[in-house]
């Protein structure tokens, strides 16, 4: 966070509707263009669907800016009375501390709006070692067991 704060003025804004969503969409498009990874196509499609039904699905999101430009995005939904589920979190490559900062600011936003939230579900690490290490650095209160369903058609 200190590295991020030293690299220019910053602000975090809640994504509302209209222009805010369009700016968030533009950021996400830029993120995927810079990544240029075909394995992320399904994820990009899921985020596009989320933006198409943002309010109906009860999403809350935010954009993190540095030096006036968006550098990170996050969005999630409530998952019960005490849990908030962070579904998406993206930061431009090379922006030091952006993931940590967007995570902190989003948690502050959510708990200000919903003081009853006690836990944040950081979702699946997909077996990616760096992502697992990052998620473990937040000292999770507990981990949920995974279950898989099989269709017996």
Can you give the pLDDT at residue 135?
56
pTM of this structure: 0.83
SS3 assignment, position 123 = coil
Can you give the pLDDT at residue 20?
85
Tokens, residue 119: 């836990």
Can you give the pLDDT at residue 63?
96
* Average pLDDT along the chain, 153 residues, taken 10 residues at a time: 91 88 92 82 90 93 95 94 92 92 95 93 60 58 72 86
Can you give the pLDDT at residue 50?
94
Planar angle of CA 19, 47, 53, nearest 5 degrees: 60
Can you give the pLDDT at residue 101?
95
What's the rounded Cα separation, in Å, for the pair 26 and 32? 10
User: Is the sign of the CA dihedral 78, 23, 71, 126 positive or negative?
Assistant: positive
What's the rounded Cα separation, in Å, for the pair 18 and 23? 9
Cα distance from N-terminal residue to C-terminal residue, the chain: 50
Query: What residue ranges in the chain does DSSP mark as E strands?
Result: 10-15, 60-66, 69-78, 83-91, 119-121
Can you give the pLDDT at residue 120?
85
- How far, CA to CA in Å, does 30 sit from each of 22, 70, 136? 12, 10, 28
Can you give the pLDDT at residue 60?
94
């Amino acid at each position: 966070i200190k590295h991020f704060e030293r690299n220019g003025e910053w602000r975090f804004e809640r994504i509302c509707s209209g222009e805010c969503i369009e700016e968030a969409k533009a950021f996400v498009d830029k993120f995927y263009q810079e990544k240029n990874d075909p394995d992320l196509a399904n994820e990009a499609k899921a985020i596009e669907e989320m933006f198409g039904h943002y309010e109906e699905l009860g999403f809350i999101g935010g954009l993190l800016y540095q030096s006036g430009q968006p550098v990170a995005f996050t969005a999630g939904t409530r998952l019960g009375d005490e849990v908030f589920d962070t579904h998406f979190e993206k930061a431009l490559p090379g922006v030091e501390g952006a993931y940590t900062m967007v995570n902190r600011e989003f948690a502050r936003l959510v708990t200000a709006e919903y003081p009853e939230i006690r836990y944040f579900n950081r979702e699946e690490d997909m077996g990616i070692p760096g992502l697992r290490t990052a998620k473990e650095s937040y000292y999770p209160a507990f981990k949920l067991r995974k279950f898989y369903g099989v269709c017996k058609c």
